[in-house]
Each structure stands twice: as C-alpha cells, then as structure tokens.
Structure 1
C-alpha cells in the first residue's frame, strides 16, 4: 500500500507514530544499519533475558515485554530459514516473518486535482488555531455552521455531525492521549502548540532517538503523512494530547519490529487511543500480538486504516479488528467521499471492514507550518480516532469494551437509495455519525 502523494494547497498530517516499551525489560530500538531481515514473536517467562532468548532462538531481541508474555526476536535470513524448517517439522514453534519495509503509510496529497507532486500549487500557511484558541470551547470553533479553524473541512465535518458532537462532548477530548504511529510529525507546527505529550515521551524508531521529527522533501514519498494524521485528530478532538512516534521513514515505509515496539511503547506511556494509518498486505503475528496486548490486556482502543488499493481485501492490522475480544476495542476504517460513496481508492471486505469515514480532500497540518490537503483511508482513520477521544473525554454510558462496537453500530446507512450497490455488505456497518454515537455512548 505504497502511499501516493498528490497535493492541493500545501497539506499536512496523516499517520502517527508510536513507540514500543516494556515493563521489566526495556526495549532497545533497532538502528537502521542493524535492521533484522526477519522477526518472530516468542513466549517468555519472568526469568528470561535478552541474552537467554537470543541464544535460544538464534537471533537478537528487539522487544521484550514480560507482562505481555512474549518477545520479538530479530533474525537474519539463514537463522529464519532454520527456524521455519523447525516450525514446520514440530508444528508448534514460532514462525519467522519478513521485517524490513513491510508497512506503508497510505495517503494521497492533492494539488489542483492533479497528481502533480506539489508542483505549481500555492502553499498556504496554517491559519487554524492551536490549543490556546480551542480552549474556549465549541462556540469558538463553529461560526454559522462553518468550521472556523479550518473552513475547508466544513463539508466533511458536517457530514459526520462534528459540530453537534462538540456540543455533546464539551471536554473536547481533554485528558485523552492519542498515539500517532507514523512518519513522525512537524514538532514545531503551530497546530501542535500545547497539544503534544511531554518531550520525554517522544520516540523515533527509525532514527533510534527521541526526536520523531518528520524528515524528507515535501511532495516526495510519505513526508508529511504523520503531521497530517495528527492534525486531523486534533481538529476532531481539539483538547486531546498527541503522542508522536516515528516508525515510517520519509518514503512512508516501516519495519514490522518498529511498529510492534511502538504499540507497546504507546501503551506504556498511557495512550488510550492508538491510530495506525498504515498497513501491510502480509499477515503479521508479531503485530497481531502487540495489538491484542494493547486492546485485550490494557483496554486501549486501536484504529487502523483499510488501505488504498481499491482491493477486495483490507490490509493488516485492520484485517484483525473484528476478531474476538481484540475486535471489541478495535476498528477498521475505510473512506467515503462527500456523497457517501466509497472512495475509488478505498479497500473493502465483507465482515472485516467495520466503519467508513470521510477521507477525501481533508485539510490538515503539513510540514513547515503549512496547511495541506490529503486523501486516503489514512485520513479517515484519525477522524474516527478523534471521535473515540471525544467519547473517552466524557463519562461513558457503555462499558469500554463496547465503545468501538457502538461507534460502528450507529453509523449512517450507506446503501439506501441504491447507493454503493456494487459494494453491498462490503463497507462495514455504515459511515461515522458522531452525534448518534455520542448520544448512545456517553452519559448526560
């Protein structure tokens, strides 16, 4: 799901990044020069150490989480082949899976409606507010039915009834930490003033440091994706807190072990919502274990984008979002246009895709203080993540395990009047309706 970049007026952020962590043994981020070719998830006991596990499995531990009960071990190609042959023979051994560049950000930046890679268009500077401007409440954000901070988003935000949602959830997501596991963000962008987690919590798995700053050239690869994603979350839930974690490089590609570590790290740092505007066409047990730990053991809500290939199968980890207890706290999200028609790029799948949200021409923050416009399921996902943050900032009327289910069940019908007839039952339970969701999920 290689991200395509199109630009409209300088755009901004999309996917977010998270960091991995553990309780009894700390994670050592893998430097780019030491990236393992393969990874596998292995069970651990309280007595295990990185040294004993490395010797047992013939590799190097990149993530050890005793509380979760397993570790991620990196292997070279030779060791992976040996392990997989053993696994086939015994039937109950861990299986190694490819690691490098298995995950891709999914976003399309638009400029003048053409795939012009940022060429020729005017770059407009961010004119929306930071948290200091949003602190006045919903009245300061909406004027005469227009979303005052980023007027270009008035139509998609009306589509999901965001103005009414802000009135129903006056806390605006305050106190809710949303982890954005992505390409990093523009840490100096005015959209993020007073809205980021403490700098001591930031993490960059690509650069192997604590500065998840977006790197790259505007219009090339995935640069700006994470900034865009984070900016969308904050437009929906203006008083939420963003935890930036960088796992994708400037091309929008990332390694499995980094994504898994970021999920663990986000949980450790108190994230209540994790946004994964990224995906892989390959099933990953390593990522599945990480998501299950976050959702089933730590009650964190996880939102994943469905992918942008117009394929009949959604990407991983969105593919797992409807599975068992894990599915109680997860959502897979696809994209619709302004007419509630499936976006031409959005993946779809019966019984796997759960919810749709606007994902075309969404204006948000961009690197270097810009306002930019992106399209993709990567944009739909943070709208949903922001909606969950609004609910978590209030007193819930339903058990936490039912919040994502309630959001999906209250979606607007996408099939009436013959709409989306070619995709009947393939687009989840509907399009996000924040007013109906909050009315049913929050106490008043």
Structure 2
C-alpha cells in the first residue's frame, strides 16, 4: 500500500472511531422534530430554468430534493410551515401527493434471534490478494455459521469464478445506518466524505438504538452480508431508517438519487412499504434507466400474497431490466414462513433464515427476514460487476433469475406454485452465464 493510501485509511478509521464514540446512545425524535417533517410529498418535473424557488411559487409546498439532472424535484407539505399546495398546477402536471412520514420499514426488523457472540471473522485482509482463506474444506471459515446457507447458493464456486471478489464495485446500503467502527467494515467503506444520514441530517450514518429493539443493527447486518458474499466490494452507508426501523418516503428517494451521484453500481433496499409510491418509483426508474445502476429490494415479511414496494414494481417497465425483488427460503428451499410471495412480481428467492452478520458493538448476531436474502443477491451482483461481463448490463439481473434453482421439483412449495419467482439464487450458474472467462 502506498503511504498516501495508508494515511487515508488510517484517517478514515480514526474518524470512524471518533464518530462511534459520539453516537453510542440516542433518543427518539421529539414530537416537535417530527412535526417539521413533511406530511405529504410528491415528485414534480424540473425543466430548464427552474429553481427550487420557482417550483415553490408554482406548486406551493417546499422543495426537499432538487435534481436538475434527473429532471425531478421532491416537494413536501403539511409540516406546519409551508404554504398550501396549488392543486390546479399539480393536476395539470399529473402530480399526486402521497403520505410521507414513516411509510417504509426495514424488512425483517423484528426477526432477530440467536447468538450475540463477538465478531471473529470477515476481516477484509483475509481476502486480500485473492486469498481463498474464507473457505476451508467446504466450510465458510470467516463466519462458519453461514456455511449451509452459502453452500446452498454455491458461494464457494462463485468466489472461484469471480476472483476479483467485487473489487471496485460500490454498493449503497440504504438502511438504518451502520456501526461504522465494526471490524467487519475495516477498509470496506466508501470515503467518509460520501457518507450520508438523512434521519440525523448530517454525514454520520451511525446506527442508533438498543440491540434487539426496533431496527437497531439492521443496516449493520445487511451491509456485512453483502461483504460476506463480495468481500472486496465497497459499502456506501446511507441512513434513512430510524432506530424503530421506520423511514420517510422523501428520505428514501433522496438517498437513491444520492447513491447515484456517488457512483454506486448496486443499491440494496432491504426495506419496503405496503403502498405504492410514485416518488420512489421515479427515483428507481431514473437510477436504473439513466445511470445503469442495479437495484435489489426485499419482498417483505408479512406472509401475504403481495410483496412490498419498491420490490413490487421491480418487474415493471424498463427499470425492471436492472431491478430485482427478493424473497426468502429456508435451508431446505421451502418458502420461509414469513416471506411474502406474488405471481409475476416476485422474481427471485435466496436464503433468509438465521443468517449471521455483524451487529453493533463488535457483535456477531443472527437475523431472519427477506432483508437478509436481498443482500446475498446484492453481493452476487457485485461479484459479477467486479469481473468482465459476457452480457449487456441490462441482461445481468435476467441472467441471475434465469439461472435460479427450481423450487417446485417433487412437489416442493406446491402451495406457492409460480409465486416464488424463477427460483432460488444459484451463484455458480449465474456467474457461468454472465461473466467472461
């Protein structure tokens, strides 16, 4: 490592340590702070010459996100401060206001269980130089508890087929934030200048809360799962969910646009809403179609025949070429009891039960939920993007679903026939058909 690089890394680690030291405890947002958040939001078109001020004069409300490149602005109202909306102008533009506050939740927030031992594996240095030390005799040595799940998706073969291990691929984890000082992320995070916390309104996306309560630890787990699959990928941490695991629509949308600005190539959304959001759909459409970013969304954990959004519109339109919705199966390839399902909407399944991951405070914890299945898929995409593709980018997610493991052979999952996508993730088949050798 060059001296300048060593200094940069050291400074980053010191900064993270200071950040963690300042954020170990937290309190819930006050009612006054909550009342300042927009109650309703909408996406409005931005044309040449528009500014936040001209849009506010035209439509009323307050601009909370202005993106001239995307040609869209997010406007909010109902926070006790902004003027009334100009309904006639909104109607002429085909714009619809939608609820904003706490519309999204992390999928699997309430599913944590199992061990809370100290983290002992997953160090980036273990994989430097293409080392295969994470596998020993078919056992995933770094986090041995995940061996069965990772054997299920053929991860050992995937690491051999994608020896770059996701190097050079930035993955945005839009979630509850991270335990920024956890050993699992040493050397694996994007520069601190790129970090973002929409909940706290600053650049320190540190997890806040109490382990086992609400969504605390959710983002830390999700990011560490991505890195277990693609050990040399880079994580861009963006916090949009509070300690309860809930988040506002405008924060999620702004984070999606922000991830694109920072050069993310994959976005992981282990979160969802039961209500379709035009604001989120436009954000995903922009980053997939215009920025060629792959977006992975969890399907939700209500065991209902309707997956959550944005997963539910991952199959729709042109953005479907670069989006994936992901549900959960257990170690026997049976649909997880909690996983949502839906014909023609759910695209892929992956292991999501008792997945061991990093937990705040240097811990190793176990989670279950579609939130854990999604980052396994995200990591698989990062492995492919770290290599030279043999297919066009718009066909990468298609190759992943087409090469899934059949989930209906021998009457398996017969009650959910055609409702579990095209199968369970098989990284060996996927990479064999998507990467040049």
Same fold at TM > 0.5: yes
| Deviation larger for 302-311 or 132-141 | 132-141
CA positional deviation for 1:36? 0.4
CA positional deviation for 1:34? 2.6
What residue number does 2:105 align with? 104
Cα pair 1:306 1:346 within 8 Å, conserved = yes
> Aligned with 1:123: secondary structure?
strand
> Aligned with 2:132: secondary structure?
helix
Deviations 1:324-371 (A, max 9, x none): 210000000000000000000000000000000000000000000000
Deviations 1:130-161 (A, max 9, x none): 21122143521100000000000000000000
What residue number does 1:383 align with? 376
CA positional deviation for 1:86? 7.0
Query: Equivalents in 2 of 1:83, 1:380: separation in Å?
Result: 43
Cα pair 2:179 2:360 within 8 Å, conserved = yes
What residue number does 2:70 align with? 68
1:153 aligns with 2:154: no
Query: Equivalents in 2 of 1:149, 1:80: separation in Å?
Result: 55
CA positional deviation for 1:270? 0.3
> Aligned with 2:244: secondary structure?
coil
> Aligned with 1:249: secondary structure?
coil
Counterparts of residues 2-401 of structure 1 (less than 5 Å): 34-76=36-78, 90=91, 92-107=93-108, 108-112=110-114, 123-401=116-394
> Aligned with 2:332: secondary structure?
coil
> Aligned with 2:361: secondary structure?
helix
Cα pair 1:44 1:69 within 8 Å, conserved = yes
RMSD (Å), alpha carbons = 1.6
Deviations 1:160-202 (A, max 9, x none): 0000000000000000000000000000000000000000000
> Aligned with 1:135: secondary structure?
helix
Cα pair 1:84 1:96 within 8 Å, conserved = no
Cα pair 1:406 1:440 within 8 Å, conserved = yes
Say which of 400, 409, 414 aligns to 1:416. 409
Deviations 1:17-37 (A, max 9, x none): xxxxxxxxxxxxxx7563100
CA positional deviation for 1:110? 3.9
Q: 1:55 to 1:80 in 2, by over 3 A?
A: closer
CA positional deviation for 1:70? 1.1
CA positional deviation for 1:83? 5.1
CA positional deviation for 1:91? 6.5
CA positional deviation for 1:387? 0.1
Query: Equivalents in 1 of 2:165, 2:102: separation in Å?
Result: 36
Query: Equivalents in 2 of 1:271, 1:410: separation in Å?
Result: 25
Q: TM-score, normalised by structure 2?
A: 0.90
Query: Equivalents in 1 of 2:51, 2:112: separation in Å?
Result: 49
Q: Which runs of 4+ in 1 moved over 6 A?
A: 77-81
Query: Equivalents in 1 of 2:94, 2:344: separation in Å?
Result: 30
Query: Equivalents in 2 of 1:417, 1:84: separation in Å?
Result: 56
**What residue ranges of structure 2 are gaps of 5+ in the alignment?**
1-32
Query: Equivalents in 2 of 1:92, 1:244: separation in Å?
Result: 34
Aligned residues: 403
**What residue ranges of structure 1 are gaps of 5+ in the alignment?**
1-30, 113-121
Cα pair 2:113 2:368 within 8 Å, conserved = no
Deviations 1:102-122 (A, max 9, x none): 00001144435xxxxxxxxx6
> Aligned with 1:291: secondary structure?
helix
Task: Tell which has more relative contact order, 1 or 2 (C-alpha 8 A, sep 6+).
Answer: 1
> Aligned with 1:218: secondary structure?
coil
CA positional deviation for 1:42? 0.3
Q: 1:154 to 1:406 in 2, by over 3 A?
A: same
